[in-house]
Structure formats: C-alpha cells, structure tokens
Structure 1
Amino acid sequence: MTSKIALVTGAARGIGLATTKLLIEKGWKVAMVDRDGVELKSASAGINAGSAFIYDVSIPDDVDEMMTKIIEHFGRLDAVVNNAGVANFGRIEEADLSLWRAVMATNLDGVFMVSQAAVPHLKKTRGAIVNIGSISGLRASTLRVAYGTSKAAVIHLTKQQAAELGEYGIRANCVCPGPVRTKLAMAVHTQEIIDAYHDAIPLNRYGSEAEIASVIAFLCSEEASYVTGQVIASDGGFDSTGVGLPALRT
C-alpha cells in the first residue's frame, strides 16, 4: 500500500518532531520542514521515513520552492501540519511593530502561505490541514498581545479553510495546546509559574508533546474523515475552567 505523505513545519523539535515520529509509526512518510538547518538535520538523522527540507515558512519564495521540492521528492501530499511558530512575550506598550510583524509573519502568514501552496495537491488526495493554534488564541493572557492574536487568527483561518475547501474533500482543523512540558518551557518557567499552571488546569499537570501529537495524528487520519472546521483544545481542561477555579475547589 502506498504510504501517505505529510508535511510538518517546525519539525526540528517539540510538538513538530513528536508529530513526525508518531505519523511515521503509523506508516506515513514525512516532509520535515524547519528553518533551523542544524537542528533539523540532527533531528532527522536516523529517521528513514522522514526527509529534511530547510525552508522558512515566513518567506513566500521559500514556501513556493519548498512545495515544489516536496512534490518532486514524494509525488503527492496527503496532510499538512502547520506547526511552525514563534513567541515573543512582552507588554502591549512595549510591543513595537517589528515584533508584531515578526510574530505574524511566521504564525499567521506562514500558515496561510503553506496551506495555499498545498491546496492543489490536497485536492488530488482529499487530504487534511491541521493548524496548530494555542490556548492563548482562545483565552487572553498578559504579555501575549502578538502571539495570542496570531493564534486567534489561525483559529479563524482554519474555519475559513474548512468552509471553502470542504467541497474538494479537504478537511481543516485546529489543535490548541495548553501548557506543554517542552525543554524550552521547563527552562523558562519558574516553580511559581509551574505551580500556578497546575492549580489552573483541571488535570493538574502540563501536557506532553506526545499527547498533542496524538490529537494531530488523529485529525490527519481517515478516522477523522467527518471532522472539519473544529478547534480542539488539548489543554487538560484549561480553557473550560475560565478564571477563579483554584479558589473554588475548596
């Protein structure tokens, strides 16, 4: 049976790498895309069903060339996972336009451009788009004016994609991770921050990269053949509780 082909952006680390590995376990082949060439080459070493493509999804010419190379290499495309993202945190009054644009260029423009480039190929396979949003796109938080706004826009873009591409059999869904126990998060989150997140999340813990990857892989698969236009918060219940939950537990 011909292997299905997935394109995963931001595949050099974290959720993107975990998704790549899980899809390969399930029989897929994966085009691993990242602009960090050194990290991508290291991550892809030894992953026989994964092929590295060093491109920056915020650059239009990169996206066009990337898609051409991927189709030349694999011959088809069955799913796109728009995972590449950047985060610059700071107060609204300190967020200048250059910071705003840098976040939007990758988090929103990149999702739009990669998806658009993929559509002609996904029409042929009646494939899937999975965009990675964030809990920060569902509920506002301090210091995230650019990041949260970009992810909220990705959520709506997903619904637009589902509405317009459904007639071609293309499904589009969005996964919004809550706090995830990545190396980066654990390096910058103080114990006070970790405790506060645990108090606010009904499951009382961070999620894992593998747990997010399992939701993404499901949405790429035929098991989700009638699921489109959905926003799934993989967040331990964080979004459902709103504010004030810790004080109400007792």
Structure 2
Amino acid sequence: MKKSQTKVALVTGASSGIGAAVARRLAGDGYSVMAAGRDAARTNELASGSPAIRAWVGDLTSSEACNRLVGDCVKAFGRLDVLVNNAGIYHLADAEHTTDEVWNQTIAINLTAAFVLSRAALPQLRKCKGAIVNIASDWGLVGGRNAVAYCASKGGLVLMSKAMALDHAAEGVRINAVCPGDVETPMLYRSGATHGLDRNSALREANAASRTGRVTTPEEVAALVAFLASDEAAQVTGAAIPIDGGNTAG
C-alpha cells in the first residue's frame, strides 16, 4: 500500500472511556486512527462515528495478537506515528485474595501487551521519529489499597516508559506515561459497584475524594495524550505525568 501522508495513531483499549476519547481526539486532530478493542459492538460503533477511525477487534493477551495488530495497522495505513497503550483492567483485591489467574491476566493486559506492542511498533516509529504514550495511573506512582496487581502493573508501565525513553531518545522516538487518577469511565462505575454503589453514588464519592472536587474527564486525558503525541512536546520524553486533580501532589 502507498504510504499515507497523514499521520497514523494506534490506540488500544478503544472500546470506551479514555481509549475512545483518545481515538476521537486524534481523529479530530487529523490522524488516521486504528482503534483496537475487545468489545466488537462498541469498537465498531466508535469507528462508525468518524471516517478517520478504523476498528480492530481482538484480545491482546498474546504476543501473536499484538504483533498482528501492529502489522495490520501498517498494512492498512502504510505507516505508524503514534502508539497509545491504553488497554487495561482492574481487579479489587489485596495480595492474599489475588489469584494466579487475576495476577497473570492483569500483568498480561496492563503491562506485557504494552511492551510487545511497543517492541513491534519501534521500527515504524523510528522511521518517522514517532511517539509512544502509555496510559498508566496515579497508582503507578503511589500505592493504592486493595489493588496490588493493578498497582504492580501500572508501576511497571511507568518505569518501562522511562527505560524505553532513555534507550530510544537519540533515535527521535519519545516515550511518556500519562497517570490519571479517577476518571469518569465505566471502570469507575464498575469499581463503585463492587462496593455496592450505584452510578450517582460512585461518582459523588470519587468527586469528594479529589483535591479539585471532581474527577477527570476522558476528554481531558485525551487532550494530554494529544499534546504528548504532537511536535509541541518534542522535548518531553521519559515523563510520567499525573492528571489526577492534585491527589499525588502531597
């Protein structure tokens, strides 16, 4: 396929929440976007809303699937400029109540998939001096209660981003981590439901816990991702940037 002159972004976890907002924002900024998600209906619905977005449906818990996704993106668009590793899951449990299955699944989706996708994408990103933006968490910067696997995966993602940034800075490839606190997404409501909270109660409690009095919106996270993907952030690499209403400030 002839190489496109339009920049291309690959966004994982794009079925809803932050990933969907990032895909829409980058498409609005002029990118062609490969939006990858596990939920076929929601991923295809996202793609139907913009001619710049193409859906890819699949599970990224194997290296083969991750490699295939990058290959499919390059085959479809002829290039890859930005990789946004957003796919993630969250299980509520301390160490004694975290099973092998939960631990392995959390690490596979939240950390290993981001590593394999990044490894596969680097040859393409090197050609265009592109960028990787990893969606970590404020709980990748500080600990959180009853989320041992999640914290381990997101902390690993933060330090993986920093290590890769050092390795590839001289090649012109920038790697950064975005570290949201509570964001108004389905994950927030699912977490609230485990505590017996309905949607309104879950949002009210999350708002009250924020230093700014409200949670972050997916669109605000997407705006930060768009900046880090842009040429305006040419000197930003190896950063782990909280977007958490000041909750990790002290």
Fold conserved between structures, TM > 0.5: yes
Aligned equivalent of 1:43? 46
Please state if 1:23 is matched with 2:43: no
Within a 5 Å distance, the mapping from 1:130-169 to structure 2 comes to: 130-169=133-172
Question: Match of 1:230?
Answer: 239
C-alpha change, 1:59 and 1:185, in structure 2 (3 Å) is same
Aligned to 1:77: 80
AA paired with 1:238?
N
Matched, 1:94 2:100: no
Q: Structure 1, residues 192-235: CA drift from partner, whole Å, max 9, x if none?
A: 66555434422111110001110011000001011000000011
Could you tell me which residue of structure 2 aligns to residue 218 of structure 1?
Answer: 227
TM-score normalized by structure 1? 0.92
Are the equivalent residues in 1 in contact too, given 2:74–2:80 (CA < 8 A)? yes
> Which of 191, 201, 206 in structure 1 is aligned with 2:210?
201
Change (3 A) 1:186 1:65: closer
Secondary structure of the 1:52 match is strand
Answering whether residue 14 of structure 2 is matched by residue 5 of structure 1, we say no
Q: 2: CA distance between counterparts of 1:194 and 1:34? A: 25
* Structure 1 unpaired stretches of 5+: 242-250
RMSD (CA atoms): 1.6
Aligned letter for 1:178?
Answer: G
* Unpaired segments ≥5 residues, structure 2: none
Letter aligned with residue 223 of structure 1: E
Deviates more, 1:113-122 or 1:50-59: 50-59
2:227 maps to a residue whose letter is F
How big is the shift at 1:124? 0.3
Worse overlay, 184-193 or 224-233: 184-193
**Local SS of the residue matching 2:33:** strand
| Contact in 2 for aligned 1:5/1:74 (Cα 8 Å) | yes
Give 1:141 shift.
1.5
Aligned residues between the structures: 241
Matching of residue 111 in structure 1 with residue 114 in structure 2: yes
TM-score in terms of structure 2 length: 0.92
C-alpha displacement at 1:53, in angstroms? 1.3
SS in 1 for 2:70: helix
